[in-house]
Chains A and B, each alone.
Chain A
Amino acid sequence: MSDPMQEIRNSFFIECDELLEGLQDALASMEGGDHTSETINVAFRAVHSIKGGAGAFGLDQLVGFAHTFETVMDDVRSGSLAIEEHIVQLFFQCADMLSDLVRVSRDGELLSEDEMAPLVNQLKALAGEDAAGGAEPEPEVDFQPMGIAIDLPDLDLPDLDQSDDAPEEESSAGAPADQGEAIEAEGADAGERDVNDASALSHLFEITFRPEPELYRTGNDPLFLLRALEALGRAETTCTVAPSPDLAEYGPNTSLLSWKITLSTNVDAAAIREVFDFVDGLCLLEVTKLEPGSEAEAGTAPAQPADSAPEPAITASPPAEAPRKAAPAAPAPKPAATQDTPPKAAPKPEADADRAGGPGQASQPGATVRVDLDRVDRLVNLVGELVINQAMLSQSIAATGLSGNSKIATGLDEFQQLTRDIQDSVMMIRAQPVKSLFQRMGRIVREASASVNKTVRLRTEGETTEIDKTVIERLADPLTHMIRNAVDHGLESTETRLAAGKSAEGHVTLSASHRSGRVVIEITDDGSGINRERVKSIAESKGLIAPGQDLSETEIDNLLFLPGFSTAKEISNLSGRGVGMDVVKNAISSLGGRIAISSQAGVGTTFSISLPLTLAVLDGMVVTVADETLVLPLSSVSETLSIGPEDVRGLGPSTQVIRVRDVFVPLIDLGTELGYSQPRSKYDGAIVLLIAQEDGKRAALVVDGIEDQRQVVIKGLEESYGRVPGVAAATILGDGQIALILDPTDLLANASGRSRPEPNLAIA
């Protein structure tokens, strides 16, 4: 195991991420009008816990900011500061700052104070306003670790332990009250120790200590206080037992004992009082310094029982044993049951100790296990191999011509099902809710809207939708860009909105949902919609399309994805930083995703991203073309048809279309397209796969035959071969043969001009 503190530190940062997520949630609820104390408390606790942990690792900057933040939040919690819109917005900014601080702290770095100053000052101003009214003088001191009773070099704890343990084990007593047995030995011990350096004991104190019943109620035990005193020097202790009250007045906390201790020590009165820190106010305590040189007198002090009370006093060389026996009711309010249990309970702690690692995790809903991603990926790879292996086995067995009802065949079916289930389950491990990603977008919206002076509210839907972790990570950049675009270009200025009869506040909605085996993420704004005239004229002026070219609305919208296109009148400092929608498009494509736009003038624009659930496997259709075996993603094939003699029509010299229920769809011969074969003279007997594209266009791919529909494991090619147009990846088939997995959208986009009259519109 590596350095345990390092592990705890790592785990702290993981917890921070969770806490920050909770904080965002709570703030979003507060923004939505939920001002219940529980919601505010959740937010407060998140900041508070981050502060607490950060303190433990000496992350002072993080502690400082969290503390300032927490102070204001506490005012909100206590109701002295009203929850207003601007406060919630400030909290959001603080949450962002906190998240930045956590991030840099993780790398052992700091944020510049300048960067933090504006927020910190706002927070302090808020706290200050409050302090003026409610006088809270100690927020900064508040975090000083306070002294714990015994902070003294003399106190030799291990020794104390050992001397405690020996007699304890004999009496097999676990309850603290029973440790009184040990005190005699310990007292003698301490005495010996002190005698050795008696010459050094320069001060003499007389301490009177009389517990109030309250002291016992709070679980304090005078025995341990006396012991701590003894550890300070040489103590002579006298115990006085008050006359017993009537039996009726006896209670578990009845206080009958008081002590007078004469202590020779090197420490001062403050250190003595510190011993009684926990019981301050729960006892009568007098600490009087005696004149130096009166040590002899002190020695006789215990011999003068009458000086404190007329009651019978027990002179204590072995100080506490007698009182314990004399007044069992007093220091030991343990119920009788306790005495009986230790032997019975003894084996139990061991059993429970096993659970100590995470007792809570198991019993709480949403329990989690943290596993290294590498391990999961190893598992994913192994399962991938298993799938291939299973496919090979199926194929070999099929080749033997066994009947479908044979035991082997049924067994194989079950094996196949199980393999698939295992694969799904393993993929689920990698899946994460998109929530964390969406939360990051909240910040983007806040920052973007502030910099262009618009009021924008982000709504999120379907945050629990799960998708592969890698997809989530790689989605962050494109999504950030699109959100910025939506705020910057999609939404109108406040004046324009008001003039158009819309709310001053613009809305951006980010939603995720499962749709037929894929995850669809939509970014919708309620802005003015795409100004197609302008898009077109820009595309013309940049030479992206021919002037006067006739384009459908969808085609115009898709111009946005062309490299070098930017509609911003002037490059704003927000979305114009060199990254265009073409980069977004490429990023989505590289994830096996597709992107589409729909826009309505005056109502708004929606960007729709459709993504595979996982990057590791694919439901594929295995087809043959000119003796080559190829795989197409099943999700892209909407229909398969066999071509009849009357179905194909020529359109111009080289373009052919196929009639599908009264609609003509351009025909693309896959073999020709990929260079496997010459154009065919007739299409009779060939099979057509109808490919539905994200933009609603359809195309018909001609193949020789369909072999199978099955799950294939994706093996990336890009590392070895770079990006091959039209090819997404490769896979290993059941017979060990390697087959290319095609990317139909890319393929059609690159298809030669024969079938696509407007190659310019093809999306690269």
Chain B
Amino acid sequence: MNSLVEKLISAIITAILIIFFGFPVGFVIWTSFRDYGAILAGQFFGFHYSLTNYFNVLFNPGYAFTKGLINSIIVTIATTGLVLLVSFPAAYALARFRIGGGSLSSYIFSIRLLPPIIFAVPLLVLLYMLQLHDTLLGLTIVYLAFNIPLAVFLLRSFIMEIPIEIEEAAIVDGCSKFRVMLYVTLPLSKPGLIATSILTFIMVWAEYLFALLFTLKNAVTINVVASQFVTQHTIRYGEIAAAVTIGMLPTVVFLTLIQKYLVKGLTLGAVRGA
């Protein structure tokens, strides 16, 4: 009897959690397939489903959505590649040589914690001055800097898990430090590199404040375009839903794929053993 009550309570809690956390996503996906007429008529049930909203969002020449989508793909991939390129040696140096003592890592860490708006206003003017405002290059440079903390700390925590004896053996054999990093540590860090690149991808894809400030027309990202949809095409609800669904798809899929490394990534490797 007691266990039956417990089972019931547990089922209720589970159901509440599913509804609470899953409902918004379920609703927006559902809305994205519904017909314009059915939505406006306030008909919630019945069979008026189609791919029209997706088709309109992607191919209507009046919308900048496809441009935002392509820009987001370019900026995100470019940033992720560059972040890995510069962060790996830095993470290696932090893990193995304890370079810069505590103050360097403290500074890198605080960039992750500081509100981005603090950098946004001076960067806005600097980008104007350098004529990098509203360019993919300018946006990529900014994203590169602000994603370094995550990459450096995450890679560092992965490198620290690799037994140092392997590297020491290579040094005894006469390898230079740089070659040890490149030919010994790098191949062994593959899981770390994959986790870091996926997390960086998610962070860049989801960024909104900088994209909103530093772009205008040419370099707009998917989040900027999607939020413009809301103000410019207020009642095209189905299309807004389709835009949001397309925008969230890559990051949701990636997040599910790297669940194993999620905790480490979200706390910059501060939570160990998880």
A binds B: no
Chain A residues with a Cβ under 8 A of chain B: none
Please list the residues of chain B having a beta carbon within 8 angstroms of any beta carbon in chain A.
none
